Structure 1
């Protein structure tokens, strides 16, 4: 049998070679050309039926692989135009963030979305993006710092009772910042999250357990911080009387553990969608009902619990050092995905730099190293998928901030507000961020303000150029 007969069957180059080998074997067995062609058509029609063995097994495997590649390409086609989505604070949002959100809303798995007023360009989904998908989870829709979160502890101490030097000494002794940084083994604390059986459920989690156990109770670099400041409650709430209190506010995530989980599953997602438009490469998804999707979901939620455990230990150390018990605590994650009912469907809602704000839900929206943060109560806005901003949002990228901001101007800004800073780089200067008051003003239908935190003593990791 010559190649022309096989070309007419529609076989591709590699499949033709395998078909010729199989046809030669069938000719040796005494079959006529028409009989062999009939068998080859049957293999084409149902290659799975021939995978178990026999003369056509290799051809069947190749045809199955080709069909899987075509299915992946077809399933990865973007919509011609993005689904419509609401935007809060459009005047505050750079075009690049809108463009990224447009691409996300063209994904075939996307069903709804929203953009918060602190939005700016990120990897894949923009920071401040909220995206609801059907039976799909997007690792870069959650972000690299899985479970990045906030926590506030209100203490039974008057704000003026803690002097700057004492607060500085406490933060230097009881907090740690930076990539790979950990407490000395004798100072390390335990937490129930380290005793979960989940760590044994996947080889990746078993491999990363020691890293997580070593770094627990610490913070990363960038915009992570721990601060002492004044918490002002205008009306009785949170089980507290109106007034001013000393408080601790922290911003931290899942450390190197979460970052490696994100990297591992992003690679798997990208391999699953080789034909995905390059503009959406970092939005590659995992079907939630697939083995990889379920593994990511499990690891993501563990990283979220681990991130909150870091806050627990940071706040417990400082409260113990002050010999007090917190009067009230508020915390929330803002880099995570949740199962949520949206428009009558059970969807996966990704919040990449967005605060959950269901009706009555408490959350935290910080400003910057010298600007106030706020405790808020969600209003459950359906159009926003029950979300709000997670902070002020950047107006200058890190490199742009380092190029354009002068250290003396940043120091003057801090001094004018009475802020003592430990660490912190020019890339995290207040001038690199939008004004938090403007961001809040754009989301009055998403949250109500409960209380205000004014930073006084701030610790961050050292930057490329410290303030």
Structure 2
């Protein structure tokens, strides 16, 4: 076997640091594997980490002049958005009010694999150059049809009450109604990920089978430049999805937001670390540079946190993207039941419009423990409590 077909790892693994205890060994091993890549410079493992493809969910990896499609993720630019409205919380909590908010969510969102709007939403993202890659060029109409939709898996749209304690957010501290959404770049993003991951694997036949999902594209290559441009476009498209969801629901209810917070958590950025420009992949990790705001959700029955980054260099300015799963979808479907889940939802004051058993609260870690494990990465400036939750119906193939 010659050097062109033999994997040669780094002489010494790239350093990485872990947050949180009792992380599953397979996710830790995935981080170790990534740090052995010859392009790897540094890594970090967040407290919500769990098994992924190639890089674990909750994994952060900095590389030199190379991007790993599967270290960005299948759902490119999956992100959070939260909008705050200055209306009395009792409007949401009383029965007749909750019915009105339910009608708005049902009318202005779409869930499920392949879901789309018959009357297409409009957004300036459609005026961007979609010919940056053959995949985005050929998928523009599909992307337009799916604009403003949420797909399946762990994606959601929910109303709740938010408690703001920080005075620097530009609104008076207090309790407000808020809308929170979680989704990404839908079918077009998945097509981009699949196409360029295939090209990356073809470019690196030397990688053993257990490392194949860590195949990379050099940014100097045509494929690398196409992927990067497509990824950036998918970032704008995912942001547009959220913008449409929030715009149309707010218009349905006659509301105007007084505060918006949003962030990607499946993306790659060119950043300076250790005195050099690196490509920082955050797969299921939230940007947490000094002063940067982000949203970290828990589950349908536990709080989400609006956070401000502390700029911890050891984490490559990153934090968790959520609570993190402790149970696979298959296990959840066989071990859990709706009786227990509905009882917990009732106690927590949550009305669930639709979801699968594989997304009930028991499949996630305790978000407060996760937040406690990363107190050196972010500070909490507000907490959001779900009250009205919509996810994809049971039986949908997960797209997260």
Deviations 1:333-390 (A, max 9, x none): 0000000111011000000000000000000000011111010000000000000000
Give 1:99's match in structure 2, choosing from 29, 44, 47.
29
Give 2:103's match in structure 1, choosing from 165, 169, 180.
169
Structure 2 counterpart of 1:160: 90
Matches within 5 A, 1:39-438: 70=2, 72-74=4-6, 76-79=7-10, 82-91=13-22, 93-162=23-92, 163-185=97-119, 188-197=120-129, 199-438=130-369
Considering only CA atoms, is the larger Rg found in Structure 1 or Structure 2? 1
Deviations 1:135-158 (A, max 9, x none): 110000000000000000001211
Q: d(CA) in 1 for partners of 2:378 and 2:39?
A: 29
State whether residues 212 and 257 of structure 1, in contact with CA within 8 Å, keep that contact through their aligned partners in structure 2: yes
TM-score of the pair, normalised by structure 2: 0.96
Deviations 1:183-238 (A, max 9, x none): 122xx2211111112x0233222101111011001101010000000010123231
Task: Give the secondary structure class of the aligned counterpart of 1:190.
Answer: coil
Post-superposition, which runs of at least 4 consecutive aligned residues in structure 1 deviate over 6 A?
none
Q: State the Cα distance separating 1:246 from its structure 2 match.
A: 0.4
State whether residues 125 and 141 of structure 1, in contact with CA within 8 Å, keep that contact through their aligned partners in structure 2: yes
Between structures 1 and 2, the one with greater strand share: 2
Task: Give the secondary structure class of the aligned counterpart of 2:300.
Answer: coil
State whether residues 151 and 332 of structure 1, in contact with CA within 8 Å, keep that contact through their aligned partners in structure 2: yes
Deviations 1:261-311 (A, max 9, x none): 000000000000111122210000000111110000000110111001000
Q: d(CA) in 1 for partners of 2:274 and 2:11?
A: 23
Q: d(CA) in 2 for partners of 1:464 and 1:232?
A: 34
Between structures 1 and 2, the one with greater helix share: 1
State whether residues 135 and 191 of structure 2, in contact with CA within 8 Å, keep that contact through their aligned partners in structure 1: no
Q: d(CA) in 1 for partners of 2:327 and 2:221?
A: 39
Task: Give the secondary structure class of the aligned counterpart of 1:237.
Answer: helix
Q: State the Cα distance separating 1:80 from its structure 2 match.
A: 6.2
State whether residues 353 and 391 of structure 2, in contact with CA within 8 Å, keep that contact through their aligned partners in structure 1: yes
Deviations 1:382-424 (A, max 9, x none): 0000000000000001111111112111111101111011111
- In structure 2, stretches of 5+ residues that fail to align are none
Q: d(CA) in 2 for partners of 1:270 and 1:146?
A: 18
Q: State the Cα distance separating 1:179 from its structure 2 match.
A: 1.0
Q: d(CA) in 2 for partners of 1:249 and 1:137?
A: 30
Q: State the Cα distance separating 1:111 from its structure 2 match.
A: 0.3
Structure 1 counterpart of 2:392: 461
User: Structure 1 241/320 Cα, relative in aligned 2: closer, same or farther at 3 Å?
Assistant: same
Question: How much is the aligned-residue C-alpha RMSD, in angstroms?
Answer: 1.3
Q: d(CA) in 2 for partners of 1:116 and 1:232?
A: 25
Q: d(CA) in 2 for partners of 1:379 and 1:425?
A: 35
State whether residues 222 and 463 of structure 1, in contact with CA within 8 Å, keep that contact through their aligned partners in structure 2: no
Task: Give the secondary structure class of the aligned counterpart of 1:264.
Answer: helix
